């Protein structure tokens, strides 16, 4: 018998809290939770996402190869090829209902938010066929939003 999913808690670094607020609350529509001068809690589709203000991650803080690009000290550039896409290794995201996934992709396009990987169907006609797209938040954290027309394909092999 399946166990109901429990909300996850994820804390991520950001280098500008107002920009994080605008992206997660303003653009993605995540309701606000608690906040201080150093962090903001967001209701990330039922999960607790906390953005923690950091001035800069140093080389000693880094787990894998990372670069500073586009003015962000938090951008992580290691990628792996997945179905012909260079997928950022360090990322997080959500599995949404298909209509919600399409609506979010359209919303981001409408706001001219850049995609790392534009909305597309991956593994078409294979086990695990899914809609996916990747974006970065203003601090350079990579996010993936995906969907399955048939949710039973989530862990298909």
CA–CA separation, 32 and 18 (whole Å): 13
With CA atoms as reference, report the closest residue to 77 among 91, 85, 88, 63: 88
3-state class (DSSP) for residue 107: helix
Domains of the chain: 9-55+71-153 (3.10.180.10)
**pLDDT tens sequence across 104-149:** 999 999 999 999 999 999 999 999 999 999 999 999 999 999 999 9
The CA–CA distances, whole Å, from 95 to 35, 43, 57, 154 equal 26, 15, 29, 9
Strand 142-147 and strand 130-136: the pairing is antiparallel
Q: Could you give phi then psi for residue 115, rounded to 5 degrees? A: -100, 135
Segment 44-75, tens digit of pLDDT:
999 999 999 998 655 555 443 344 434 455 55
């Amino acid at each position: 018998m399946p166990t109901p999913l429990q909300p996850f808690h994820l804390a991520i670094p950001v280098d500008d809290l107002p920009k994080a607020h605008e992206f997660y609350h303003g653009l993605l529509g995540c309701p606000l939770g608690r906040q201080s001068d150093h962090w903001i809690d967001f209701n990330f589709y039922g999960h607790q996402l906390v953005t923690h203000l950091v001035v800069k991650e140093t080389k000693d803080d880094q787990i894998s190869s990372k670069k500073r690009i586009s003015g962000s000290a938090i951008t992580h550039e290691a990628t792996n090829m997945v179905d012909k896409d260079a997928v950022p290794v360090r990322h997080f995201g959500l599995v949404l209902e298909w209509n919600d996934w399409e609506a979010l992709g359209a919303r981001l396009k409408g706001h001219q938010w850049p995609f790392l990987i534009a909305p597309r169907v991956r593994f078409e006609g294979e086990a695990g066929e899914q809609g996916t797209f990747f974006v970065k938040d203003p601090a350079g954290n990579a996010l993936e939003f995906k969907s399955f027309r048939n949710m039973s394909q989530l862990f298909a092999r």
